[in-house]
Structures are given as structure tokens and as C-alpha cells.
Amino acid sequence: MRRIILSVVVLLAAMPVLASTSAVSQLQSKYQAAGAGPFTAAAGQAFWNTKHNNSKVGKQRDCTGCHTKNLKSMGKHVKTGKEIKPMAPSVNPERFTDAKKVKKWFRRNCKWVLGRECTAQEKGDVLQFLSIQ
Ligand code: HEC
């Protein structure tokens, strides 16, 4: 009996991790179906830290502008000053558990930073990088 209780506890403890993995892999398989891949954390990291030219506003912007260079610390919205919870799932297990949320913010933030939507390859790489932080 104790064994059964123990395995249930272990299973429950593992669930948020499973959920997050599944949202990320679910999105990545969609990107793959669109012709992208394979995805690497190195490419995602480079994309995350690069200053991108946003020709629509004539400015250089990057993802760290709001999320900061340290993924494990709080971020701050450059315009509103609102706090943003850490991006690293190791300190914020809610990260990347909801595919809808990920899609919504990719759309908004890519447009804000790059002046266009991110490609399937860029999104797959960024998720590969962020999900292991
Ligand atoms: C202008 C500020 C700002 C910039 C710049 C920005 N973000 Fe965000 N990002 C936010 C806010 C606000 C949220 C939503 C609040 C939250 O999830 O804590 C968010 C959430 C996200 C999420 C959703 C995470 C989840 O838990 O599902 C992803 C993915 C994301 N951003 C990716 C990016 C990428 C990639 C870039 C660079 C191209 C970027 N962000 C640049 C403000 C920004």
C-alpha cells in the first residue's frame, strides 16, 4: 500500500514537468510539420540575445529588453514597467505549459521586437533553449 501511495505521489510531482514538455513538443511538432527543424538550444540562445533590426519602428530591440539577460530573475516590461515572472521553468514551473499562451506571446513579442512574426524555425529554437533553463 505504501508503495502505491508513493508512486502516486511521484507521478503527481512529475505532472507539471510532463505538461510543460508536452506543450513544447506539441508546438515543435507543428513547426516541424511546417518544414522547420531540427531545433537547437544554441540557435535559440543566439536569437534570444541578438539585437534585431525592427525596420517598422527603425529601432533595434531584443527579447531580453523585457525578460532581462537572467532568465531566472524577474523581468520588467520596458514600456509599462510591469513585472514579468522569470522565464526559466526551473524557477517558474508554469512556463510553457499552455500552448495557446506561448503562441499568443510569440506573436505579440516577435512583432514588437522584429516587426514581423517569428518563423517556425526561430520559435522552435527559442523553445528548445528556454524550456531547459
Ligand atoms: C515589450 C516587452 C517584451 C519583450 C521585448 C518580449 N517579451 Fe516575451 N513576454 C512579455 C510579456 C508581458 C509576457 C506575458 C507575461 C508573462 O508570461 O509573464 C511575455 C511572455 C512570453 C512568452 C510566453 C511564456 C509562457 O509562459 O508561455 C514567450 C514564449 C515569450 N514571451 C517570448 C518572447 C520572445 C521570443 C521575445 C523576443 C522576440 C520576447 N518574448 C520579448 C513581454 C515581452
Atom of ligand 1 nearest to the CA of 79: 1
Given its phi and psi angles, is residue 5 left (phi above 0), alpha (psi -120 to 50 degrees) or beta?
A: alpha
How buried is residue 65: exposed, middle or buried, by Cβ count under 10 Å (0-12/13-18/19+)?
A: middle
Whether the CB-CB separation of 107 and 23 falls below 8 Å is answered with no
* pLDDT tens track, the chain, 133 positions: 777 666 655 555 655 555 556 899 999 999 999 999 999 999 999 999 999 999 999 999 999 999 999 999 999 999 999 999 999 999 999 999 999 999 999 999 999 999 999 999 999 999 999 999 9
- Ligand 1 site-directed mutation target among 105, 108, 119, most atoms within 8 Å of CB: 105
Residue 93 CA to ligand 1 centre (angstroms): 15
How far does the centroid of ligand 1 lie from the alpha carbon of residue 106, in Å?
Answer: 7
CA of 102 relative to ligand 1 center, distance in Å: 8
Distance, CA 124 to ligand 1 centroid (Å)?
A: 15
Report whether residue 64 contacts ligand 1, using a CB cutoff of 6 Å: no
Q: Cell 527579447, residue? A: 63
